[in-house]
């Protein structure tokens, strides 16, 4: 589609039967587009799903810039719709609606498709610290407001460190712990804030890799991290617990060529402790 012409009539009233609770804009826009698709499908005598599939941007066309200048960077929209309709069991629902209609019951069946811009900037921060007792502390600059973001941050760190998620503690809203952050809004917290957690944890692991290699007596590239394990006191040591060290790192997700700005705060070597959390292992 090379050209576009859109006319919008806005009416200011307090008599509307339905409205968004805030000025999001997307629900109204999607209703307009999806209603238009259904009306066109009726006029053409086409299956609404088939009409949508024919007009969706194909994966091979990515990145795609539309006639209004907006660029879609990636995505498999036809594949997503097909999977969604399969999970919805659309044909079964259509048969059920027809059967109920013959009984005199009026039912409607519809579905909608939308794309949303997420991961708004300008940056986000995260600080990750490993305790000697095997616990992990994360301080984030964004402030969860009931969405479960803290659980997501903890799962990200646990996966990267190879620890049980129950050992991860997440803190926020305290400027005494972290000095800057942007916030929770616009579908950005896990993508942008989680990205900062990923980078901060990765920086901590890289900082500890040299320490682990030193204690294992190998080159840094031969050390790796994984779940806790015990070692025989009579066998050569092939693992050290992350709780052996105390380390922290602050990570910020920023826009521009240097997408992440990271600053290691401290890495100190302590005495060996019993493996209780993530473990550095000698790679065979």
The mean pLDDT of 206-211, rounded to a whole number, is 74
- Given pLDDT bands bounded at 50, 70 and 90, which one contains residue 12? confident
Q: Is 13 helix (H, G, I), strand (E, B) or coil?
A: coil
CB 157: neighbour CB atoms within 10 A?
Answer: 28
Mean pLDDT for the chain? 76
- Among the ranges given (14-18, 56-60, 85-89, 175-179), the one the predictor scored with the smallest mean pLDDT: 14-18
Q: Which residue has the higher pLDDT, 141 or 268?
A: 141
Structure confidence by residue, pLDDT tens digits, 68-82? 888 898 899 999 999
Band (19; pLDDT cuts 50, 70, 90): low
Residue 64 has pLDDT above 80, yes or no: yes
Please check whether residue 111 is in contact with residue 51, taking contact to mean a CB–CB distance below 8 angstroms.
no
Neighbours of 17 (CB within 10 A): 4
Report whether pLDDT(39) > 90.
yes
Q: Please, are residues 222 and 115 in contact by the beta-carbon 8 Å criterion?
A: no
Give residue-wise pLDDT tens across range 121-137.
Answer: 788 888 888 877 778 89
Q: For the whole model, what pTM was predicted? A: 0.62
**What is the average per-residue pLDDT within 232-247?**
46
Under the banding of pLDDT at 50, 70 and 90, the label for residue 223 is low
Least confident of 89-103, 144-158, 200-214, 270-284: 270-284
Q: What pLDDT sits at residue 163?
A: 86
Which residue has better confidence, 269 or 99? Answer: 99
Peptide bond into 63 cis (omega under 30): yes
Domains of the chain, with CATH numbers? 26-102 (no CATH), 123-282 (3.30.365.10)
Position 260 pLDDT exceeds 70: no
Cα separation, 228 vs 241, in Å, equals 7
């Amino acid at each position: 589609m090379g050209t576009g012409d859109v006319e919008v009539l806005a009416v200011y009233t307090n008599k509307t039967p339905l409205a968004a609770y805030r000025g999001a804009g997307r629900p109204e826009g999607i209703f307009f587009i999806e209603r238009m698709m259904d009306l066109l499908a009726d006029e053409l005598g086409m299956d609404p799903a088939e009409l949508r599939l024919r007009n969706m941007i194909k994966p091979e066309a990515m990145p795609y810039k539309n006639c209004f200048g907006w660029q879609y960077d990636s995505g498999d929209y036809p594949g997503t719709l097909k999977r969604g309709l399969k999970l919805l069991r659309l044909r079964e629902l259509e048969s059920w609606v027809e059967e109920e209609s013959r009984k005199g019951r009026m039912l409607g069946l519809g579905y909608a498709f939308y794309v949303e811009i997420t991961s708004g900037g300008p940056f986000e921060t995260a600080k990750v610290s490993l305790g000697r007792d095997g616990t992990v502390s994360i301080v984030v600059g964004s402030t969860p407001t009931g969405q479960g973001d803290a659980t997501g941050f903890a799962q990200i760190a646990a996966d990267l460190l190879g620890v049980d998620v129950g050992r991860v503690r997440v803190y926020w809203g305290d400027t005494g712990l972290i000095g800057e952050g942007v916030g929770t809004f616009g579908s950005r917290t896990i993508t942008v804030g989680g990205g900062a957690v990923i980078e901060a944890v990765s920086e901590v692991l890289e900082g500890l890799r040299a320490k682990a290699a030193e204690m294992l007596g190998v080159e840094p590239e031969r050390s790796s991290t994984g779940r806790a394990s015990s070692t025989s006191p009579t066998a050569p040591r092939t693992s050290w617990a992350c709780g052996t060290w105390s380390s922290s790192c602050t990570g910020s997700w920023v826009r521009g060529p240097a997408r992440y700005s990271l600053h290691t705060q401290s890495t100190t070597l302590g005495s060996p402790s019993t493996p209780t959390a993530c473990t550095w292992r000698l790679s065979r």
